Amino acid sequence: MLIDGRQMHIQITKGDIGRYVILPGDPARCEKIAQYFDDPKQIAHNREYTLWTGSLDGVPVAVCSTGIGGPSAAIAMEELVECGADTFIRVGTSGGIVDKVKGGDIVIATGAIRQEGTSREYLPIEFPAVADFSVVSALHEAAQALGFPYHTGVIQSKDSFYGEIRPAQMPIADELTAKWKAWKAAGALTSEMETAALMIVAQVLHVRCGAVLNVLWNADNDDAPAIPPDATERGVKAAVEAIRVLIREDSKA
Ligand SMILES: O=P(O)(O)O[C@H]1O[C@H](CO)[C@@H](O)[C@H]1O
Ligand SMILES: O=c1cc[nH]c(=O)[nH]1
């Protein structure tokens, strides 16, 4: 929605960005991600939304933070699409669910459990939050090329960070614990807060979206989690490389 010629929240307009956008949650991560671009430049900063642009292999790319949780992430995607973007890769931090997913790993999400509220205001809960196949395929190629330990599969998105970290302290502890147990039994890989909403908004707006998550720790296995020093870097490198793959593949189409 334009107010005085700029999108109300992200404060940019059509022509400011190209079609490819990386979406971290944390605004402080935008500048670091933009350093992988040629000619990085900050173009906007409003609320939780920081935007940098640049290019990869001569093609315009951007990074835009989404803040924490589905509501602000959905707003970012809606406004970025109005400005011409159609391909998104979320990159963020997460906590491993199944035992094999450990701090320092990366996870490529093929779909996300919709344990959040935003996506329910777009589509009924029966509709699955799934990643775009070409984005998953590009992330897969990137992770293999970079040689990082990675997993591919379903992740969980939820609204309450502390509902994940301290479920026993919540009045609905039984419900939270039973659901976590079910996700784990089904092989859900890692837990974060934005991917399901982004995938559902992308579905509704007919654009492409995928996600790569850096795993900080495994919530059930690490008593005193030691966050690997490059834990937030690996997913970023995979996302940037995947954008290069998509640029290459899209140029053939
Ligand atoms: O590292 P980011 O992208 O912010 O992602 C994760 O970190 C935040 C919680 O600490 C949530 O936004 C969660 O999804
Ligand atoms: O465990 C974690 C770590 C980061 N972000 C989350 O949402 N959960």
Check if 107 has its Cβ closer than 6 Å to any atom of ligand 2.
Answer: no
Choose which residue among 193, 195, 215 to substitute to test ligand 2 binding: the one with the highest number of ligand atoms within 8 A of its C-beta: 193
Q: Ligand 1 centroid vs 67 CA: distance in angstroms?
A: 8
Residues 6+ apart with CB under 8 A from 3: none
Distance 95 CA to ligand 1 centre (A): 10
Q: Does ligand 1 have an atom closer than 6 angstroms to the CB of 157?
A: no
> pLDDT band for position 149 (50/70/90)?
confident
Percentage above 90 pLDDT, the chain:
91
Task: Quick: pLDDT tens for 153-200.
Answer: 999 999 999 999 999 999 999 999 999 999 999 999 999 999 999 999
How many beta carbons lie within 10 A of that of residue 78, not counting itself?
17
- Residue 225: pLDDT band (50, 70, 90) is low
How far apart, in Å, are the Cα atoms of 176 and each of 70, 120, 154, 159, 249? 19, 19, 18, 12, 42
pTM of the model as a whole:
0.97
Q: Is 241 in the pocket of ligand 1 (CB under 6 A)?
A: no
Chain position carrying tokens 């007919």: 206
The residue-averaged pLDDT of 32-45 equals: 98
